Structure 1
Amino acid sequence: MNRDAEATRRRLLRAATEEFAAYGIAGARVDRIAAAAASNKAQIYHYFGSKDGLFDAVFDLMCRETLDAVPIDPAKLPEYAGRLFDSYQARPWVQRLAAWYRLERAGSGTLLPIVLESNAAKIDAVAAAQRQGLLPTRFTAPELLGLVLHLSGFWSSHTPELDARLADDTADRRRQVVVEAVAALVASP
């Protein structure tokens, strides 16, 4: 792919990230994405096949960037959770894209390879740490990973009413809560 084509593809992915984060898959409009990317709808279909294909490409890129920026260390799950929290703070669209993905793709039968692969690798790492005695076994490896991931994104997943009660919390305090909650989770019983 030549540089102009790659630049167009990157612009489309950036514009699509903003559009999908704001409106979800169903609400996103390819004409707005094309306009924001200084491109046209034909290019979206050329590079990604469909609006769903474009969403999948956005989600794949987001997952890869997160995996590169925040590798798991199962022996230090509280710190991993804190780094995930930091990543979500720096890239707030990640949690919005994940919410749209859960809402609009649940039960669709479409499972993204990057998500399957990253979950499998993380679960294997947690299971290995459990076998080595580094992590407790009161939860299975998938359950423990799920709890850590949800605690890392806790602040973006509750109701506005609870958020209003927590409005005075600083980012540092919110991070501290995540790290301490995961530390309590993995503490020996």
Structure 2
Amino acid sequence: MAHDSAATRARLLDAAYEEFVAVGLAGARVERIAKAATANKQAIYAYFGSKDALFDAVLDTRLQVLADVVPFRPDDLPGYIGALFDQLCLDPGLMRLTQWKALERTDASDAEREAHAAKATALADTLGIGLEPAVDVMMVVLAVAQAWLFTSPAVRNPMGANEGARRRRHRESVIAVVRAVVESASR
């Protein structure tokens, strides 16, 4: 039977995603990743070089998928944040993965810096504001979009309301806050 290296690599990335989401980089074990991917440990080192490089590849892959699914729209920041909120609700593991990254690796990579700088520049140009205020706007709106996922169910829904209805109301609130932030920054 022919060996499909692309399929093996994809299985390793998927298995590693699940492992890193569950236990972070420090807690992840290449043995568990290899077993879940029906591969061997050597395949991880052959394709990625190290567990750290595998983590980077998983993070880069998942963030690229997110960027492809929810393209940045500086001319419609409320719409962008609504779409981002929806996607993060569909894949809460991505937020957990990025939190592990923030906890275990405090420095931003060059790719992260470039991606955020490009977004801030586009937002500054669109809103007609300086780059520093645009960075502040980006930080606020991204925090607002992600807040839902960082709070416990008891905080998100203290009255035990219908979860779907509560999520829709929260989404509307997120969009309203972002709209207000954009209007304020544009003045």
TM-score by length of 1: 0.87
Alignment match, 2:111: 114
The residue aligned with 1:178 is 174
Alignment of 1:35-114 (within 5 A): 35-106=35-106, 109=107, 111-114=108-111
Contact kept in structure 2, 1:30 and 1:41, CA below 8 Å: yes
> Which of residues 140, 148, 155 is equivalent to 1:155?
148
**Partner letter of residue 152 of structure 1?**
A
Residue number in structure 2 paired with 1:24: 24
Q: Deviations over 1:122-152 (max 9, x none)?
A: 0111110122xxxx67x71111111111111
Between the two proteins, the alignment pairs up a number of residues equal to 181
Rounded Cα–Cα distance in structure 1 between residues aligned with 2:84 and 2:24: 22
> Is this contact kept in 1: 2:12–2:39, CA < 8 A?
yes
Counterpart residue number, 1:123: 120
**Moved runs in structure 1, 4+ residues, more than 4 A?**
none
Q: CA RMSD in A?
A: 2.2
- Structure number having the greater helix percentage: 2
Check 1:104–1:83 CA distance in 2 against 1; reply closer, same or farther (3 A cut). same
CA shift for structure 1 position 117: 2.3
Contact 1:85–1:175 under 8 Å retained in 2: yes
Call closer, same or farther: CA 1:166–1:182 in 2, change over 3 Å.
farther
Taking the aligned partners of 1:158 and 1:151, their CA distance within structure 2 comes to: 12
1:9 aligns with 2:9: yes
CA distance in 2, matches of 1:14, 1:179: 32
C-alpha distance after superposition, 1:48-80 (max 9, x if no partner): 111110000000001111111111111211111
Structure 2 vs 1, CA of residues 166 and 148 (structure 1 numbering), >3 Å: closer, same or farther? farther
The structural deviation recorded for 1:114 is 3.1
